[in-house]
């Protein structure tokens, strides 16, 4: 179609962004800033309402929201090209969520995997299993409905996310189908853009995805880590007892994860399997040194800019960026809500 592209994506302020967030999401957001289309609009939200589906301390959440925004700026997101804002600054997200809740099926939601993994339950757990209903809060269960509203309220055409989010994007499209069937063709179905790399795994448990919520700080590399911290974490990464390099995510998750990380930053664009072939005769120690060097170089400058952005104008710069982003996001979301309210009779 000829309609201008609208990009939407989000990140939780549950900690500083890590290499997984960078590879799966932020790297794509940066690329999309180079879109030559002058009319392309970009919305990147620090999703604080999603963050409170797990327990947060108010003071800490407030601080982490500002840090997340500073980290995004430090990677190169430009507030003149991308609206950066806190989800709770735009009430239309929650208003549309309620409306979508009235057409969303609990059966569909119960089959989704995120609430299960967040509660540490196996993927085949059902709502009927003992104790589940007592520990499962409504907000965690309906997380995908809020995520759908985030996307649909901006009439996003493209949503750049890590591959762990595919299921949620399918649900968002299901919401569009249901809404449009009931009220007319007003919501727009978004396309997923996933990054070329596989999801990045924990350095300590390479069968689990790298996550901010992991309490073991050696499991993730933060994009604001010092070169020394990065090297220490890479050198301590769990691999296996075969002292050679090969790419086999099933049999060699730790080594393969290191190759996935290396490929993010490879200047000649080699994929992990190609990198493994080129490193055939090298030791795992050599591989780790190469990975540490590549990550340190690839993230260079982010830490310094992060500190500068946080302190700029005694912190008021961040607040100004957020206020500007929220203003643009509210304006865009209100256009959608006017149509939605009209269609429903609200
Ligand atoms: P987290 O799971 O660390 O809390 P978020 O939920 O804030 O991260 O996700 C923000 C973005 O980062 C999403 O697009 C998600 O797909 C992506 N992402 C998160 N973890 C990873 C990972 N380990 N590998 C690749 N992408 C990831
Ligand atoms: Na996530």
The pLDDT of residue 172: 98
Q: Is 124 buried (19+), middle (13-18) or exposed (0-12) by CB count in 10 A?
A: exposed
**Does 290 share its domain with 258?**
yes
53 lines ligand 1 (CB under 6 A): no
Ligand number nearest to the C-alpha of 23: 1
Confidence of residue 2 (pLDDT cuts 50, 70, 90): low
Distance 38 CA to ligand 1 centre (A): 28
CATH number of the CATH domain containing 81: 3.40.50.620
Domain membership flag for residue 23:
yes
200 lines ligand 1 (CB under 6 A): yes
Structure confidence by residue, pLDDT tens digits, 38-95: 899 999 999 999 999 999 999 999 999 999 999 999 999 999 999 999 999 999 999 9
Q: Which atom of ligand 1 is nearest to the CA of 163?
A: 16
**Does 321 share its domain with 290?**
no
The pLDDT of residue 1: 54
Q: Which domain holds residue 261?
A: 226-298
**Does 291 share its domain with 321?**
no
| 102 vs 340: CA distance, rounded Å | 13
Listed in sequence order, the residues at least 6 apart from 291 whose beta carbon sits closer than 8 Å to its beta carbon are: 234, 258, 261, 262
**Does 251 share its domain with 336?**
no
Distance 267 CA to ligand 2 centre (A): 27
Mean pLDDT of 7-17: 96
**Does 320 share its domain with 248?**
no
| 213 vs 240: CA distance, rounded Å | 25
**Does 84 share its domain with 152?**
yes
Confidence of residue 229 (pLDDT cuts 50, 70, 90): very high
Mean pLDDT of 169-185: 97
- DSSP assignment of 49-105: HHHTTS---HHHHHHHHHHHHHHHHHHT--TTTEEEEEGGG-THHHHHHHHHHTT--
Closest Cα to atom 12 of ligand 1: 21
Domain membership flag for residue 304:
no
- Active centre residues (catalytic): 118, 209, 212
**Does 263 share its domain with 320?**
no
Q: Given a cut of 80, is residue 35 above it in pLDDT? A: no
The pLDDT of residue 201: 97
Element (H, E) at 41: strand 41-46
Tell me how many domains the chain contains. 2
Ligand number nearest to the C-alpha of 44: 1
Q: Given a cut of 80, is residue 340 above it in pLDDT? A: yes
13 lines ligand 1 (CB under 6 A): no
Q: Which atom of ligand 1 is nearest to the CA of 165?
A: 16
162 lines ligand 1 (CB under 6 A): yes
Distance 167 CA to ligand 1 centre (A): 13
The pLDDT of residue 242: 94
Domain membership flag for residue 39:
yes
Domain membership flag for residue 288:
yes
**Does 45 share its domain with 85?**
yes
**Does 98 share its domain with 173?**
yes
| 241 vs 254: CA distance, rounded Å | 11
β-sheet with 6-11: strand ranges across: 82-86, 41-46, 6-11, 158-161, 191-194
**Does 282 share its domain with 159?**
no
211 lines ligand 1 (CB under 6 A): yes
Average pLDDT, the chain: 95
Q: Which atom of ligand 1 is nearest to the CA of 50?
A: 6
Structure confidence by residue, pLDDT tens digits, 102-123: 999 999 999 999 999 889 899 9
Mean pLDDT of 20-33: 95
**Does 163 share its domain with 254?**
no
212 lines ligand 1 (CB under 6 A): yes
Residue among 81, 93, 83, 76 nearest 17 (CA): 76
**Does 187 share its domain with 244?**
no
Domain membership flag for residue 80:
yes
87 lines ligand 1 (CB under 6 A): no
Confidence of residue 213 (pLDDT cuts 50, 70, 90): confident
Structure confidence by residue, pLDDT tens digits, 126-145: 998 888 888 899 999 999 99
CATH number of the CATH domain containing 292: 1.10.240.10
Closest Cα to atom 2 of ligand 1: 211
Residue among 135, 271, 144, 266 nearest 198 (CA): 271
Domain membership flag for residue 46:
yes
Distance 28 CA to ligand 2 centre (A): 16
């Amino acid at each position: 179609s000829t309609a201008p592209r609208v990009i939407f994506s989000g990140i939780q302020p549950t900690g500083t962004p890590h290499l997984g967030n960078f590879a799966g999401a932020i790297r794509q957001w940066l690329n999309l800033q180079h879109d030559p289309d002058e009319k392309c609009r970009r919305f990147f939200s620090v999703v604080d309402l999603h963050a409170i589906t797990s327990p947060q301390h108010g003071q800490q959440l407030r601080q982490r929201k500002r840090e997340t925004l500073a980290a995004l700026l430090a990677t190169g997101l430009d507030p003149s090209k991308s609206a950066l804002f806190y989800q709770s600054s735009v009430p239309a997200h929650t208003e549309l969520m309620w409306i979508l809740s009235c057409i969303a099926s609990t059966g569909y939601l119960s089959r989704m995997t995120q609430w299960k993994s967040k509660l540490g339950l196996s993927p085949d757990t059902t709502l009927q299993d003992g104790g589940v209903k007592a520990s499962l809060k409504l907000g965690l269960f309906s997380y995908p409905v809020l995520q759908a509203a985030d996307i649909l309220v901006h009439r996003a055409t493209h949503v750049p996310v890590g591959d762990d989010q595919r299921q949620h994007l399918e649900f968002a499209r299901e919401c569009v189908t249901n809404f449009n069937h009931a009220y007319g063709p007003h919501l727009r179905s978004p396309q997923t853009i996933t990054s070329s790399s596989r999801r990045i795994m924990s350095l300590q448990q390479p069968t689990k995805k790298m996550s901010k919520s992991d309490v073991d700080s050696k499991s993730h590399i933060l994009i604001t880590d010092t070169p020394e911290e990065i090297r220490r974490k890479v050198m301590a990464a769990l691999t296996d007892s075969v002292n050679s390099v090969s790419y086999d995510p099933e049999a060699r998750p730790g080594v393969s994860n290191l190759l996935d990380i290396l490929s993010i930053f490879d200047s000649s664009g080699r994929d992990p399997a190609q990198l493994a072939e080129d490193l055939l005769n090298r030791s795992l120690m050599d591989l780790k040194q190469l990975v540490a060097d590549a990550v340190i170089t690839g993230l260079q400058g982010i830490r310094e800019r992060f500190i500068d952005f946080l302190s700029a104008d005694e912190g008021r710069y961040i607040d100004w960026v957020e206020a500007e982003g929220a203003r643009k996001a509210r304006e865009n979301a209100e256009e959608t809500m006017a149509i939605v309210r009209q269609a429903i009779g609200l």
